[in-house]
Structure 1
């Protein structure tokens, strides 16, 4: 079967982002996963300083580019600056370091990983704790971080910039002072956390939305999340000859988001991209909407109460 052609959307002038991508994390199999994904038709690969896998991904990209399997302009590579590099000059340094690890001349999209800063103790100590056991955060304003992001664009290190794990008010603050507006926000988004208000807000500001953890954290024994095991969703899947997972990924695309499912399993990687030959009806979309509980899996709880945290204190009750 031919690998699917993934449609692209222009997220800012002359920058076209594929509608689905491969999410990655710190896993030994990430090199294989990246290889399988590119072979299956994926062009968007999402990584980050935090994931400690840029070197592994870089090796595969170099191999695929030198074999001529893909051209650089067909790929869409995303990375993120971590919280201990929130000072303006550190952002540029971090971006250059990511490029070096990925063996690339430029990124397609560079994101601020989250809204609050932490102090640098040493490389790879991403969550440094003080002696009293509290996360060693700082008050570097993400507006300063944003100036560093803009510098990365001006220096040609990245084609576009954005944010991850930010809220509407924080985006408004950036929009009110920026030279270059964010082209994308990457947030947790799935049927249990549909983020409708944020989607609407971002649409009004021309900010595309990438969805991490798009199918939650599936657990076959516990049959969770419920939407992957629900008879109504399984009925929709049967109608289209798809799986519940494929239906949920399609749902996110139909809601206007760009899902980046994470997998290191070849069959699942191939199945996850096979969602462009059907579309859900408004009724089917509202069935899946009904699973929303505003339930978050990723909260960065250790920084709760920080003045730049993207979640209000009541989110941690």
Structure 2
């Protein structure tokens, strides 16, 4: 279901929570540049961060990068280790990528070998060196700890490494990951709306399946009567 009102209306509520001391800072996620610009124009308190999914295959939109650079909004990326791709499913319902295709890519692994960093470290450095904040997420807590420790490592990627990773952008089709209209979850505030969308999508599929089965039973019943 869609939220009531607009994201500007929701932002007014968050601003009031800050004024009452209930929140220290507020931000947005999954906003495009146009939506963020609209919010900034209407906001009394600017978003502290703008979160967006990004990894070596899926870049942050340039318009959003430019807007965040020219405002006080910190660009924050999540999904940088590439496990977002493992949530997309192919035609037969199987995982399109059972593990992270980013961490397994030959160029990422080659950079890791040449720099002495791990593949997650390489992914973290790639965004940190562009001035972006990062959120590390993984099913394995030890991988998160290693990635955060690697992000603090003094070693860095050189220009050639950065260019190699830039060239990977668009390597995979993002439609394999985002399985339905982005209008449902774009411009929502305060939680991982992609996960919410997936849950709704799966529930809707289950409801449709039940309706089809019910219709099948009704048809069989009518055939039996006549």
Common topology (TM > 0.5):
yes
**Structure 2 unaligned residues grouped into runs of 5+:** 87-95, 189-226
Corresponding residue of 1:147: 12
1:290 to 158, 167, 190: 167
Select the residue among 122, 127, 142 that pairs with 1:252: 127
Corresponding position: 1:231 with 2:106: yes
- Shifted more, 259-268 versus 191-200: the winner is 259-268
- With a CA cutoff of 8 Å and minimum separation of 6, indicate the structure with the bigger relative contact order: 2
CA drift of 1:226 comes to 4.0
- 1:148, CA displacement in angstroms? 0.6
Report the structure number with the largest CA radius of gyration. Answer: 2
Query: Matches of 1:180 and 1:145 in 2, distance apart?
Result: 13
Which residue number corresponds to residue 314 of structure 1?
A: none
SS at structure 2 position matched to 1:228:
helix
* 2:50 and 2:76 in contact (8 A); partners too: yes
Secondary structure at 2:149's aligned position in 1? coil
User: Would you say 1:162 and 2:27 are equivalent positions?
Assistant: yes
TM-score of the aligned structures, taking structure 1 as reference length? 0.49
Classify the secondary structure of the residue corresponding to 1:176. Answer: helix
Per-residue deviation, residues 283-312 of structure 1 (Å, max 9, x unmatched) = 2111111111172676483x6556x8449x
Question: Cα–Cα, structure 1 residues 159 and 195, in superposed 2: closer, same or farther, change >3 Å?
Answer: same
Is residue 213–residue 262 contact of structure 1 (8 Å, CA) maintained in 2?
yes
The secondary structure found in structure 2 opposite 1:209 is strand
1:23 counterpart residue number: none
Residue 202 of structure 2 corresponds to residue 202 of structure 1: no
Rate the CA distance shift 1:263–1:167 in 2: closer, same or farther, 3 A. same
The separation in 2 between residues aligned to 1:230 and 1:264, in whole angstroms, is 19
Question: Is the CA contact (8 Å cut-off) linking 1:227 and 1:291 kept in structure 2?
Answer: no
Match of 1:242 in 2: 117
CA contact (8 A) 1:188 1:296 kept: no
Deviation per CA, 1:228-249: give whole Å up to 9, x if none: 2233322221122221121111
Say whether the 8 Å CA contact 1:192–1:292 is kept in structure 2.
yes
Distance in 2, matches of 1:304 and 1:230, equals 27
Cα distance in 2 for partners of 1:196, 1:141 equals: 23
Count of aligned residue pairs for this structure pair: 173
CA–CA separation in structure 2 for the residues paired with 1:239 and 1:155: 51
- Of the three residues 262, 279, 284, the one matched with 2:156 is 279
The structure in which a higher percent of residues are helix is 2
Alignment correspondent of 2:93:
none
What is the distance in 2 between the residues matched to 1:285 and 1:189?
Answer: 15
Residues 175 and 190 of structure 1: CA distance in aligned 2, closer, same or farther (over 3 Å): same
Alpha-carbon shift at residue 200 of structure 1 (Å): 2.3
In the alignment, the residues of structure 1 paired with residue 142 and residue 114 of structure 2 have an alpha-carbon distance, to the nearest angstrom, of 21
The secondary structure found in structure 2 opposite 1:262 is coil
